[in-house]
Amino acid sequence: METASIGATSKGGLCRLTLTDLDAKVRAWFVAQCEAVGCTVTLDDMGNIFARRPGRDPALPPIAIGSHLDTQPTGGKFDGVIGVLAGLEVLRVLEESGTRTEAAIEVIDWTNEEGSRFAPAMLSSGVFAGAFTRQWAYDRTDRSGVRFEAALDAIGYRGEQACGAHPLSAHFELHIEQGPILEAEDAVIGIVTGVQGMRWYEVTLDGREGHAGATPMRLRQDALLGASRMVVAIAAIAARHAPDAVGTVGLIESRPNSRNVVPGQVFFTVDLRHPDDSVLETMEREMHEAFDAAKGDLSLSVERVWNNQAVSFDPACIDAVRVSAGRLGLASREIVSGAGHDSAYVARVAPTGMIFVPCAGGLSHNEAESAERDHVAAGAAVLLSAVLEMDRRLSAG
Ligand code: HGY
Ligand code: MN
Ligand code: MN
């Protein structure tokens, strides 16, 4: 709740976009809290923050607890934040109880998980996992043309360490489900087995600006009318592959955006997701077919800017979460994540698992997002237990 004051919106949510002064403020808060509990804090050259609590065996790579502190422009107080702060709480409990783990424990704040300001999402955990080059990430621009690298330097969080040159023994992430399943089944813990596939596209439609009053309908090249047909087509493609497919047009810019000018150009984004990459491939093909059919005499460009394959988490990590929920007597169920998470990329380079807790009405990416204190506490307890379970297995060799 203290961090929720950094970027608070009037509707009780958060607007704390990545690499802004507000992000810098919550980062400084987080670093100070970790140092206060005796951690050493380092940065890599994507601005990822690593707060390390040493273990007995320095030869063992750390067990990481990661998530993100950046939010959507109309985000909630829990998305990403509970994963980082539960990690801080784990550090505090280990310190207060005088527990020394075999492997070091590291809490990580991954830069730009949301992908709202700089697309794609999970950009920095993606560089860490080798999915993107650092230079490609540095060259990403926000909608006002600011480059990622410049924004990172502006807040002073570009570290020396090369992003990715940082072995991990395991990575766990606590997160709200951001969907309705756990709440509907009165489950407190989601044992996350993996993350669905997701692809992002950027579409530009060029028509011709004209006078809203004097241009006959038959002579128009109305880019927004064409875009509207394509938006409807995305929903139809998702419906065709129900119940697991989702399709979203979230960002749209119409130019010149004047009430009495026929729109000459429209830029919009497409987000397609499905648990099965082969279905996602079909959805992409159907999207191109639908757009070609809808464009008429408009010129169309479609660029795929992100292709994040479905991922399955590590069986030992999944089991550590399952055993922990059982030991704590918490109602749980296995679940595949509909939302993307940094863990989806980290799973490519380290054994990874996730823990979900319910959020009210399954609502997220919404200022009304909320989670119950007891559920978040239960998730943090499972996180601590899973980390200790993994540590025991590591030291058993
Ligand atoms: O897009 C996602 O699923 C995540 O919230 N960034
Ligand atoms: Mn998140
Ligand atoms: Mn999010």
> Could you tell me the CATH number of the domain that includes residue 27?
3.40.630.10
What pLDDT sits at residue 59? Answer: 96
Q: Is 351 a residue whose pLDDT tops 90? A: yes
Q: Are residues 141 and 270 in the same domain?
A: no
161: pLDDT confidence band, cut at 50, 70 and 90?
very high
Q: What share of the chain is helix, strand, coil (3-state, %, to 5)?
A: 35, 25, 40
Q: Are residues 314 and 301 in the same domain?
A: no
Domain stops at, among 252, 283, 308: 308
Task: Report pLDDT digits (tens) over 20-50.
Answer: 999 999 999 999 999 999 999 999 999 999 9
In angstroms, what is the span from residue 345 Cα to ligand 2's centroid? 13
Give me the chain's average pLDDT, please.
98
The DSSP call for residue 197 is E
Chain-centroid distance, C-alpha 142: 17
In angstroms, what is the span from residue 83 Cα to ligand 2's centroid? 9
Sign of the four-CA dihedral 381, 373, 336, 88: negative
Residue type for 76, please?
A: G
How many structural domains does the chain have?
2
Q: What percent of the chain has pLDDT above 70?
A: 100
Calpha distance 318→227 (Å, rounded): 42
Q: Are residues 32 and 80 in the same domain?
A: yes
User: Which of 395, 391, 390, 379 is CA-nearest to residue 89?
Assistant: 379
What is the CB-side half-sphere exposure of residue 27 using CA atoms within 13 A? 29
User: Which of 173, 183, 114, 174 is CA-nearest to residue 359?
Assistant: 183
What pLDDT sits at residue 334? Answer: 98
Q: Are residues 231 and 323 in the same domain?
A: no
Q: Are residues 188 and 287 in the same domain?
A: no
Q: What percent of the chain has pLDDT above 90?
A: 99
The DSSP call for residue 217 is G
Residue type for 81, please?
A: V
352: pLDDT confidence band, cut at 50, 70 and 90?
very high
Q: What average pLDDT does range 75-102 have in this prediction?
A: 98
Residue from 341, 354, 369 to probe ligand 1 pocket by mutation (most atoms less than 8 Å from CB): 341
Q: Are residues 73 and 173 in the same domain?
A: yes
Domain stops at, among 292, 308, 324: 308
Which segments of 238-321 are extended strands (E)? 246-248, 252-255, 261-262, 265-274, 299-308, 311-312
269: pLDDT confidence band, cut at 50, 70 and 90?
very high
Q: Are residues 203 and 303 in the same domain?
A: yes
CATH number at residue 272: 3.30.70.360
Q: Are residues 44 and 182 in the same domain?
A: yes
Atom 1 of ligand 1: nearest residue by CA position: 340
Atom 6 of ligand 1: nearest residue by CA position: 114
Provide the whole-model pTM.
Answer: 0.97
Residue from 78, 114, 246, 308 to probe ligand 1 pocket by mutation (most atoms less than 8 Å from CB): 114
Name the residue range of residue 230's domain: 197-308
Ligand 1 site residues (CB inside 6 A) read 113-115, 121, 339-340
What is the separation, in whole angstroms, between the first and last Cα of the chain? 40
Q: Are residues 294 and 175 in the same domain?
A: no
In angstroms, what is the span from residue 102 Cα to ligand 3's centroid? 33
Q: What average pLDDT does range 288-295 have in this prediction?
A: 98
In angstroms, what is the span from residue 130 Cα to ligand 3's centroid? 22
Helix (H, G, I), strand (E, B) or coil at 53: strand
Cβ-contact 6, 22 below 8 angstroms: yes
Task: Report pLDDT digits (tens) over 360-383.
Answer: 999 999 999 999 999 999 999 999
Cα-atom radius of gyration of the chain, to the nearest Å?
22
Q: Are residues 239 and 136 in the same domain?
A: no
Cβ-contact 338, 248 below 8 angstroms: no
Using CB atoms within 10 A of its CB, is residue 14 exposed (0-12), middle (13-18) or buried (19+)? Answer: buried
For the CA of 365, the nearest atom of ligand 1: 5
Task: Report pLDDT digits (tens) over 193-222.
Answer: 999 999 999 999 999 999 999 999 999 999
Domain stops at, among 308, 342, 366: 308
Q: Are residues 159 and 187 in the same domain?
A: yes
Q: Are residues 314 and 300 in the same domain?
A: no
What pLDDT sits at residue 397? Answer: 77
